[in-house]
Amino acid sequence: MLDKVSAPARNRTTKWLGAVAVAAIIAGGAVESGLVAPNPAHAELRSMAQPMQGMPSFADMIDRVKPAVVAVKVKVQNVADQGDDEDGQQFSMPDFPPGSPMERFFRQFRDQQMPGRGDRGDRQQRPRQFGQALGSGFFISADGYVVTNNHVVENGSQVTVTMDDGKELNAKVIGTDPKTDLALLKVEGNDFPYVRLAPQKARIGDWVLAVGNPFGLGGTVTAGIVSAQHRDIGSGPYDDFIQIDAPVNKGNSGGPTFNLSGEVVGVNTAIYSPSGGSVGIAFAIPASTVEQVVASLKDKGSVTRGFIGVQMQPVTKEIAEAIGLKEPKGALVAEALKDSPAAKAGVQTGDTIIAVDGEPIKEAKDLSRRIANVAPGKSVSLTLWRQGKERTVTLEVGSQPKGA
């Protein structure tokens, strides 16, 4: 440290630096008007030493949003087969008369091999075993509502959130939606730091930042870009993920992905990884989906989705040619369920739904997502392709049955 260097040492250092400076002037070129003419051979080294211009710094934005991001800790009961040993293998008692010498021998043998197991009655009285799940979340309002993933709090008996300053708060699960993997929590209190959901969709190539609790470390920030949109990874009927390349790992689940304005564009929910760690392929639930689901969970504790009652299949190139469509698009109706809104409106097996309220349907899952977002009781118009012609029917959307 400079303040620990003695005066003589500082003087020697100054003289040495002065000698180096003189040598540099001689090597660099002639002195003209008090300026050193630089040696062209050293230009590249000097440019490398200069700070890079135009590179973004996320520090100011992170200072604003990081206090709203929390670590989510969940106490989870481990439900194991009561008759299994520690490796999941079952021990079977031979069939001897109760109280016989052989029965006592095998009972003692079992107890020696699996201490603490005892007979079936003893096993049922063993204390419950608990584990801990770790994830992330973020406040969306000052009065303590927290968004996270359903799979983080699923089967949890106790949920705790840890704020950026280390403060721990008990949280109540207000509602969950397994089909979109979202959950809404509530902690008691007011005036919490919170963030807003982005009103606009993130574009491919936009900078994004993921903040969360990877591997339980807490408060970690990583940066990347939006790699792709509308990813279907087969996790549910309404898959419509944003793909990002910001490093996201275990424990980031439920954490927010921010744009450079500090708005949440997505909720981190899954990664693709052969190793279990980040390889630059992560998936986030879009803010538009989060907004709809959270509003429903906050209002009702569950999500109510629209339903028209059709079983669909994709329109392939071969099917499109067979039914006279110029290109594969829409959703082919395999069956209109009896007494469903679609059947009552005249939708038939073999129809292809190519638009809802005039908005084109690109594929079958597009129809599922579009109808699911319509409030039950609202009327919509379906554009059908039937026998080489378009026709329009109007129906009232029903409520999706439980388990559908």
- Positive or negative, the CA dihedral 186, 189, 192, 195 is positive
Report the pLDDT value the prediction gives residue 128, as an integer from 0 to 100. 58
CA distance 110 to 118: 8
Strands 306-307 and 398-399: antiparallel
Of 134, 130, 132, 157, the C-alpha closest to 72 is: 134
* Rounded Cα distance, 369 and 334, in Å: 18
For residue 342 the two structure tokens come to 């679609």
- C-alpha angle with apex 91: 86 to 92, nearest 5 degrees? 165
Q: In the chain, what are the domains?
A: 2-43 (no CATH), 83-125 (no CATH), 207-300 (2.40.10.10), 306-399 (2.30.42.10)
Tracing tokens 């721990």 back to the chain, one arrives at 168
Nearest-angstrom CA–CA distance, 228 and 240: 11
For 37-88, how does the pLDDT look when each residue is reduced to its tens digit (9 = 90+)?
445 544 444 444 455 566 779 999 999 999 999 999 999 876 443 333 333 3
In angstroms, the CA 396 to CA 189 distance is: 42
Partnered with residue 89 across adjacent β-strands are none
Rg over alpha carbons for the chain, rounded to the nearest Å, is 32
In 3-state terms, what secondary structure has residue 157? strand
What's the pLDDT tens digit per position in 267-310?
999 999 888 889 999 999 999 999 999 999 999 999 989 999 99
Instruction: Check 136, 239, 245, 253 and give the catalytic one.
Output: 253
Q: Which residue of the set 136, 177, 181, 239 is catalytic?
A: 181
For a pLDDT cut of 90, what percent of the chain falls above it? 63
Q: Among residues 151, 296, 366, 368, which one is catalytic?
A: 151
The pLDDT value recorded for residue 78 is 65
pTM above 0.85, yes or no: no
Instruction: Please identify every stretch of the chain with a pLDDT value under 70, giving residue numbers as ranges.
Output: 1-54, 78-130, 403-404
Supply the pLDDT for residue 99. Answer: 63
- Is 253 part of the annotated catalytic residue set? yes
Q: Pairing state of beta strands 156-162 and 310-314?
A: unpaired
Token pair listed for 226: 């939006």
Closest C-alpha to 359, from 350, 369, 349: 369
Residue 151's φ and ψ, nearest 5 degrees, are -70, -15
SS3 content of the chain, % helix, strand, coil (to 5): 25, 30, 40
> What's the confidence (pLDDT) of residue 161?
97
Structure tokens at 46: 């000097």
CA gap 62, 209 in Å, rounded:
9
